[in-house]
């Protein structure tokens, strides 16, 4: 996906009009009658006030989130695309207007912001999404590790724990998103380019929280690894220009192939590799900033299985066949065209590698001619939901049922802003533990497996990473007890 030529067409006036050119690959809009499916780009805009005396539009002021106009006439885009507004005006979706597939060629879009007159810098951020239509689906396969037992989710109504069966122990309130209602899901895991983009629009103090190295670290000529010492496991996120505490943010870049042998952010620097070494609070911060929310435990299986019948021990792509991909056997390693050299016609997936290997490019199995099975894709076109990196999802029968507190209400969607220290500030997201030190403390689970996990973890209904129930043997509803940066953990969000 590419966004270029960002221009404010009415500088100095109220309600800035932002024009940009957008394009992306592997797009679709498929007419299935009552449950059409499509992909889209979620667009948000960040702005920065620029003092009038500043040369070259340079500013050290904080980047803020801009609301968009509430008038439909304030938006325009060329054919074959359309702009879809949302109720909270925190962003817009751009999608195909009519059924079609393939590459979306560069197209000019114009959006109007709800901002007063001023001098600003703007950053237009785009995230590829897939639409998941409303409808019933089957939860659990009755066979995978710690699976939900087979249960049909036919509404968003209250699910009574125990009585409902399916291994659900606590009541799940009607407000908790179960996957029946329609939503958008990120098409790919957060990439390292996207996480760098996020970091570069934060304050110094926020950057301190969202990385593992002080932003004031001197990068020298080769940069300083920001997420993990020595940039292991294919994580190439680095500080490339140091910050000054607390007034000046650091500048981050991608550098899989170490500079100065080539420049930072070069084509082969792994910009499209999935962003690993994310912890739960990192993911929540990114999603809050991007005006998304965490995917729930039940929505994960809706995205994967869709409306298909359950199949015992099925993988994310709907079969029991799988083909291994590993990061040390690639073509175009580090490039936007990075692909696996593995051959096979079912479920190309990154799993089972040695612990010193790493994730691959997001969406690496998909081509213009691949099918769901060959691309290892989820039912609605979402990529790498199985393998590559563990997915952190919201849910879990924690003390007081707090794992089911998140809702689909607009108040539970990210608002584009973080706390001064870089934390998400949406109360129902439950970023902190309910019982410090307890085995069921965190309100999240890890699903889908990773580049170094066993193939069994890639199964749609596998929940093997749940914490063991305190004093029991059946961890059906409990979340993980970890908030640390691990080599094979990443994530994505929904809206």
Domains in the chain: ranges and CATH = 2-132 (2.60.40), 137-188+287-495 (no CATH), 192-254 (no CATH)
Helix (H, G, I), strand (E, B) or coil at 491: coil
Angle formed by the axes of helices 192-199 and 280-289, nearest 10°: 70
- Spatial separation of the C-alpha atoms in residues 146 and 456, rounded to whole Å: 12
Interior angle at CA 127, CA 126 and CA 132, nearest 5: 135
* DSSP tag of 72: G
In this structure, how many other beta carbons lie within 10 angstroms of the beta carbon of residue 210?
25
Q: Is this prediction's pTM over 0.75?
A: yes
- Per-residue pLDDT, 483: 67
Question: Chain-centre distance of CA 359, in angstroms?
Answer: 15
DSSP assignment of 72-119 equals GGG-EE-TTEEEEE-TT-S-EEEEESSSEEEEEEEEEEEEEB---S--
Supply the Cα-derived Rg of the chain in whole angstroms: 22
- Per-residue pLDDT, 161: 79
Beta strands in 366-471 (DSSP E): 390-394, 444-447
Q: Is the peptide bond before 246 cis (omega within 30 degrees of 0)?
A: yes
The structure tokens listed for 78 are 């060329």
Q: How far apart are the first and last CA of the chain?
A: 19
Classify residue 221 by burial, with Cβ atoms within 10 Å: 0-12, 13-18, 19+: exposed
Contact predicate 249/214, CB 8 Å: no
* DSSP tag of 296: B
**328: closest CA among 436, 452, 213?**
452
- Per-residue pLDDT, 407: 92
Half-sphere exposure at residue 425, Cβ-oriented, CA atoms within 13 angstroms: 10
Question: Chain-centre distance of CA 205, in angstroms?
Answer: 23
Q: pLDDT of the chain along its 495 residues, tens only?
A: 999 999 999 999 999 999 999 999 999 999 988 889 999 999 999 999 999 888 888 899 999 999 999 999 999 999 999 999 999 999 999 999 999 999 999 999 999 999 999 999 999 999 999 999 999 999 999 899 888 878 999 999 999 877 666 667 778 899 999 999 999 999 999 999 999 999 999 999 999 999 999 999 999 999 999 999 999 999 999 999 999 999 999 999 999 999 888 899 999 999 999 999 999 899 999 999 999 999 999 999 999 999 999 999 999 999 999 999 999 999 999 999 999 999 888 999 999 999 999 999 999 999 888 899 999 999 999 999 999 999 999 886 555 566 788 998 999 999 999 999 999 999 888 766 544 444 445 567 889 999 999 999 999 999 888 754 544 433 333 444 456 899 999 999 999
**6: closest CA among 156, 108, 129, 142?**
108
- Per-residue pLDDT, 478: 40
CB within 8 A of 388, min separation 6: which ones? Answer: 189, 274, 349, 350, 359, 360, 362, 450, 451, 490
Helix (H, G, I), strand (E, B) or coil at 446: strand
- Per-residue pLDDT, 167: 66
């Amino acid at each position: 996906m590419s966004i270029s030529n960002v221009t404010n067409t009415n500088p100095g006036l109220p309600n800035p009009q932002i024009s940009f050119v957008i394009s992306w690959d592997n797009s679709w809009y498929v007419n299935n009658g009552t449950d059409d499916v499509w992909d889209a780009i979620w667009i948000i805009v960040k702005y920065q006030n620029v003092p009038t005396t500043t040369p070259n539009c340079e500013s050290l002021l904080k980047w803020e989130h801009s609301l968009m106009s509430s008038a439909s006439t304030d938006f325009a885009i060329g054919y074959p695309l359309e702009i879809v507004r949302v109720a909270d005006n925190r962003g817009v979706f751009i999608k195909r207007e009519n059924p079609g597939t393939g590459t979306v060629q560069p197209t000019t879009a114009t959006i109007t912001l709800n901002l007063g007159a001023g001098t600003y810098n703007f950053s237009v951020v785009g995230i590829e999404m897939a639409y998941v239509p409303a409808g019933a689906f089957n939860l659990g396969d009755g066979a995978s590790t710690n699976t939900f037992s087979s249960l049909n989710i036919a509404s968003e109504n209250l699910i009574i724990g125990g009585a409902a069966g399916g291994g659900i122990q606590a009541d799940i309130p009607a407000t908790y998103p179960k996957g029946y209602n329609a939503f958008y899901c990120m098409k790919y895991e957060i990439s390292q380019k996207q996480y760098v983009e996020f970091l570069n629009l934060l304050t110094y103090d926020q950057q301190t929280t969202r990385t593992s190295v002080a932003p004031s670290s001197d990068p020298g000529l080769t940069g300083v690894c920001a997420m993990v010492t020595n940039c292991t496991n294919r994580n190439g996120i680095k500080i490339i220009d140091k910050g000054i505490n607390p007034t000046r943010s650091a500048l981050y870049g991608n550098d899989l192939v170490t500079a100065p042998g080539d420049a930072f952010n070069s084509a082969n620097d792994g910009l499209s590799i999935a962003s690993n070494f994310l912890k739960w609070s990192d993911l929540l911060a990114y999603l809050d900033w991007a005006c998304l929310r965490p995917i729930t435990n039940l929505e994960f299986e809706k995205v994967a299985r869709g409306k298909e019948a359950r199949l015992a021990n099925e993988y994310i792509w709907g079969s029991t066949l799988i083909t291994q991909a590993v990061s040390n056997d690639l073509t175009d390693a580090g490039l936007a065209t990075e692909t696996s050299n593995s051959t096979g016609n079912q479920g190309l997936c990154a799993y089972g590698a040695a612990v010193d290997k790493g994730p691959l490019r997001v969406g690496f199995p998909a081509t213009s001619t691949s099918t769901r099975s060959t691309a290892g894709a989820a039912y609605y076109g979402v990529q790498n939901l199985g393998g590559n990196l563990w997915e952190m999802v919201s849910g879990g029968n924690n003390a007081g049922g707090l794992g089911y507190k998140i809702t689909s209400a607009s108040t539970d969607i990210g608002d584009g802003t973080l706390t001064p220290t870089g934390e998400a500030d949406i109360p129902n997201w439950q970023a902190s533990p309910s019982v410090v030190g307890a085995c069921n403390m965190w309100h999240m689970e890890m699903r889908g497996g990773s580049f170094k996990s066993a193939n069994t973890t890639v199964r749609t209904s596998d929940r093997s990473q749940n914490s063991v129930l305190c004093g029991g043997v059946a961890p059906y509803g409990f979340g993980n007890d970890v908030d640390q940066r691990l080599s094979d953990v990443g994530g994505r969000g929904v809206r």
